[in-house]
Amino acid sequence: MKAEKIWMDGQFIDWDDAKVHVLTHALHYGSGIFEGIRAYQAEQGTSVFRLKDHVERLFNSSKILKLDVPFSKEEIRQAIKDTVKVNHLNGCYIRPLVYRGFNQLGLNPFTCPVQVMIAAWEWGAYLGEEALAKGISAKIASWVRNNINSTSPKAKICGNYVNSIFAKMEAIEAGAEEAILLDSNGYVAEGSGENIFWVKDGILCTPPLTSVLEGITRKTIMTIAKDMNIEVREEFVARDSLYLADEAFFAGTAAELTPIREIDHYLIGSGERGPVSKKIQEKLFNIFQGKEQQYLDWLDFV
Ligand code: PPE
């Protein structure tokens, strides 16, 4: 993973020179927030998927962590598109980060400057190319999802991701590919970096937005499923509902729509990508490629 330029605080810097001081506040305490965005090569040109929604969430995360972004939403949207353009990227992953820089250490963040960077690079299938067709194995983590009174799950805060890293390490060391975290009440929450869906008797289900990230892919999938006349429900369920589901999948910008083949060694349905998952996945990829007139508004051409 390497591209040419990274946007740092308003200007493009060579990839290898995009550095920060070791006493950067966010490096010590996780006091930053970020976004994960994808651009796709559509029939009409390169486009960023749901750029406006991602920038909106970036500013919501900033508000929650009290980071005063020194750029307007419009400036950030333009900088994201410029980053894709100067790097001559077609399909890519885009990572904007707003973080507390260096002034002094200690938990009070207010004296540290708010800095912004945007990087973009080619990033293929998050959980492997094969995973998109065949599905992956997942494990219920012993680590509980960040509690709603410990941090804000609605904000994509850097520090929140230590919780995900614990769950991911546990899953990998146990021989699984991804983790599923339960919330403090024991209900299914989400993956380490994805929302989760399952299908039971033709109904598409996902947990409510309490202790999970308000995923843009989640929102997209709920909209297109409804448009395809698939019933969608938000439900708190225990892990056994996942074991007994007909289908399950992860949804996120990086993961796109990745089917889940097995959870804790229980085969989900027939242990392969299910028909509802496949139908939604195909629709989603067609939308990314600009092949669905109805959803062209979601594409922002660079
Ligand atoms: N939950 C979590 C915890 C999460 O990190 C993501 C995105 C989602 C749900 C899905 O949200 P959305 O991308 O808006 O549909 N995870 C990002 C970071 C992944 C990473 O490894 O880094 C992403 O997919 O870009």
Question: What one-character-per-residue DSSP string does 81-94 give?
Answer: HHHHHHTT-SSEEE
Phi, psi of 267 (to 5 degrees): -70, 135
195 Cα to the center of ligand 1, angstroms: 8
Ligand 1 nearest-atom number relative to CA 126: 21
Of 181, 188, 182, 179, the C-alpha closest to 237 is 188
* Ligand 1: residue whose CA is nearest its atom 8: 194
Give the pLDDT score at 88.
96
Is residue 301 domain-resident?
no
Q: How many domains does the chain have?
A: 2
End-to-end CA distance of the chain: 21
* CB of 252 closer than 6 angstroms to any ligand 1 atom: yes
User: Is pLDDT at 48 greater than 90 in this prediction?
Assistant: yes
Residue 258 confidence class, pLDDT cut points 50, 70, 90: very high
Is residue 45 domain-resident?
yes
Distance of alpha carbon 253 from alpha carbon 37, whole angstroms: 6
Q: What is the mean pLDDT of the chain?
A: 97
Compute CA 111 distance to the chain's CA centroid, rounded to the nearest angstrom.
Answer: 30
Query: What single-letter amino acid sits at 232?
Result: V
Q: Which residues are catalytic?
A: 156
| Cα three-residue angle 153-192-5, rounded to 5 degrees | 90
Q: Which residue, of 65, 97, 121, is where some domain finishes?
A: 121
Model confidence pLDDT, tens digit, residues 73-120: 999 999 999 999 999 998 999 999 999 999 999 999 999 999 999 999
Q: Are strands 45-49 and 37-42 parallel, antiparallel or unpaired?
A: antiparallel
User: Is pLDDT at 234 greater than 90 in this prediction?
Assistant: yes
Longest dimension (CA), the chain: 56
CATH code of the domain in which 234 resides: 3.20.10.10
Model confidence pLDDT, tens digit, residues 7-37: 999 999 999 999 999 999 999 999 999 999 9
CATH code of the domain in which 19 resides: 3.30.470.10
60 Cα to the center of ligand 1, angstroms: 15
Residues 60 and 163 reside in one and the same domain: no
Residues 136 and 99 reside in one and the same domain: no
Model confidence pLDDT, tens digit, residues 157-207: 999 999 999 999 999 999 999 999 999 999 999 999 999 999 999 999 999
* Ligand 1: residue whose CA is nearest its atom 5: 193
Is residue 293 domain-resident?
no
Give the pLDDT score at 1.
81
Per-residue CA distances from 54 to 71, 94, 155, 163 (Å): 15, 11, 12, 22
Residues 87 and 63 reside in one and the same domain: yes
Give the pLDDT score at 270.
95
Residues 106 and 143 reside in one and the same domain: no
* CB of 253 closer than 6 angstroms to any ligand 1 atom: yes
The DSSP output letter for 270 is: T
Residue 43 confidence class, pLDDT cut points 50, 70, 90: confident
Q: Which residue, of 121, 148, 180, is where some domain finishes?
A: 121
Ligand 1 nearest-atom number relative to CA 160: 3
Share of the chain above pLDDT 90, in %: 98
- Print the domain residue range for 41: 5-121
Contact 87, 120 (CB under 8 A): yes
* Ligand 1: residue whose CA is nearest its atom 9: 194
Q: Which residue, of 100, 121, 142, is where some domain finishes?
A: 121
